[in-house]
Amino acid sequence: MTEPRQTQRLRADEAGIAEAARLLRAGKLVALPTETVYGLAADATDGRAVASIYAAKERPSFNPLISHLPDTAAARREGLFDAAALALAKAFWPGPLTLIVPVSPGCTVSDLARAGLASVALRVPSHPVAHAVLAAAGRPIAAPSANRSGRVSPTLPEHVLVDLDGRIDAVLEAGPTEIGLESSIVACLGGAPKLLRPGGVPRAALEAAIGRELVIADAAQGAAPISPGLLASHYAPEAAVRLEAAAPLPGEAWLGFGPEPEGHALPPLSLNLSTKGDLAEAAANLFAALRQLDEAGATTIAVAPVPMQGLGEAINNRLGRAAAPR
Ligand code: TXA
Ligand code: MG
């Protein structure tokens, strides 16, 4: 259970940013825009504030959270970066990349935000509003996606309010997020860097920056659950999801990608991730489309095939989770 809270809507201007930072420093919960998805932010150094994130989201267990920092220098005070981590930070920060690194001796991120692990998840987001809040807060800010547990991540402030109105202290409203998929997560814990979650930076770009292939950790394949939040069914809409569909069957809603299938009348519940087949556009539309079809009452969503190149790997990863048995 969580105490009801009055959720302030803050504008993403100077006053709103200052108020968001003030609330965070006071241990409150603020939903913030990032370039990937909206995050539910709290002071990562304050165990009580972090605990209230789990309560607001109704997250069943204490998954480790990503701590957000305004720049690489601040991130390096929290974690120990090896050569691969440094190369990745240099190439992709600020941006949609999270690095899992060993905690530094001076790490200020609370045990609860790390779920007791000896490693810490760090990210320097590029969204100018997120950056301004982080700079003003002056401490690591923990932020999982700002959705209720089990729902898809919010890419609009309206999605945050549907899930969390009355459960958090404020939402900083800055329109749709640009990328629409969560950050790529790479663990640099000594030895070969591992891709824990495909995300906003395509794998080929990550591999080019470190000059080697990434080991892929696939939680769904029963590998050691080093990233406990990566359970197969984590991103579930209410509707069933049927992947790699050539066309919708009678009664199904349709989520297309690229040109629509010929010779089929599309059902009334029908959306397209990108009629031009643009993967960046599809990523940006994915979670909003799943929410929209769900809210319109779809029982099964048939999804057109999405190619595996570039951002397609992350899109297919999220679609696979949405389709996972639960
Ligand atoms: O784009 C994003 O990454 C968004 C925005 C708000 O920054 N955040 C996000 O957070 O997606 P969340 O909590 O939904 O996902 C964080 C993932 C979880 O799967 C968690 O298990 C993993 O990061 N994680 C965090 N710390 C970890 C650690 N020390 N070792 C392994 N996995 C970790
Ligand atoms: Mg999430």
What tens digit of pLDDT does each residue of 92-119 get? 999 999 999 999 999 999 999 999 999 9
Q: How many angstroms is it from 153 CA to the middle of ligand 2?
A: 6
Is-contact 281 273, C-beta < 8 A?
A: yes
* Ligand 1 contact, 144 CB (< 6 A): yes
Write out the DSSP string of 11-62.
Answer: ESSHHHHHHHHHHHHTT--EEE--SSS-EEEEETT-HHHHHHHHHHHT-SS-
Residue for token digits 């999405």?
306
Classified as helix, coil or strand, 227 is coil
* Ligand 1 contact, 181 CB (< 6 A): no
* Ligand 1 contact, 119 CB (< 6 A): yes
CB atoms within 10 A of CB 226: 16
Give the model's pLDDT for residue 325.
80
* Ligand 1 contact, 184 CB (< 6 A): no
Which residue, among 160, 164, 200, has the nearest Cα to 291 in the 3D structure? 160
Q: Find the helix or strand (DSSP H, E) in which 266 lies.
A: none
Is-contact 239 245, C-beta < 8 A?
A: no
Over its length of 326 residues, how does the chain's per-residue pLDDT go in tens digits? 567 899 999 999 999 999 999 999 999 999 999 999 999 999 999 999 999 999 999 887 778 999 999 999 999 999 999 999 999 999 999 999 999 999 999 999 999 999 999 999 999 999 999 999 999 999 999 999 999 988 899 999 999 999 999 999 999 999 999 999 999 999 999 989 999 999 999 999 999 999 999 999 865 444 344 555 555 555 678 899 999 999 999 999 999 999 999 988 899 999 999 999 999 999 999 999 999 999 999 999 999 999 999 999 999 999 999 998 87
Residue for token digits 């909003």?
288
Best mutation site among 185, 188, 215 for ligand 1, i.e. most ligand atoms within 8 A of its Cβ? 185
User: Which atom of ligand 1 is least distant from the CA of 120?
Assistant: 29
Give the model's pLDDT for residue 62.
76
Q: Find the helix or strand (DSSP H, E) in which 318 lies.
A: helix 312-323
Q: How many angstroms is it from 183 CA to the middle of ligand 1?
A: 8
Is-contact 78 120, C-beta < 8 A?
A: yes
Residues 6+ apart with CB under 8 A from 7: 161, 164, 165, 166, 167, 168, 169, 170, 171
- Pull the structure tokens for residue 177: 């997020």
Classified as helix, coil or strand, 165 is coil
Strands ordered across the beta sheet of 300-303: 240-242, 300-303, 253-256, 270-272
Model-wide pTM > 0.85: yes
- Pull the structure tokens for residue 206: 């990550």
Amino acid at 133: V
Task: Say which ligand is closest to the CA of 152.
Answer: 2
* Ligand 1 contact, 198 CB (< 6 A): no
* Ligand 1 contact, 64 CB (< 6 A): yes
Rounded to 10°, the helix 157-164/279-295 angle is: 40
Bridge partners for 142 per DSSP? 42, 67
Which percentage of the chain shows pLDDT scores above 70? 94
Which residue, among 148, 142, 144, has the nearest Cα to 59 in the 3D structure? 148
Cα separation values, 156 from 8, 23, 159, Å: 16, 21, 5
Q: Which protein residues have their CB within 5 A of the ion that is ligand 2?
A: 145
* Centroid of chain to Cα 297: 25
Euclidean distance between CA atoms 64 and 6, whole angstroms: 27
Q: What length does the chain have?
A: 326
* Ligand 1 contact, 261 CB (< 6 A): no
- Pull the structure tokens for residue 241: 């999801």
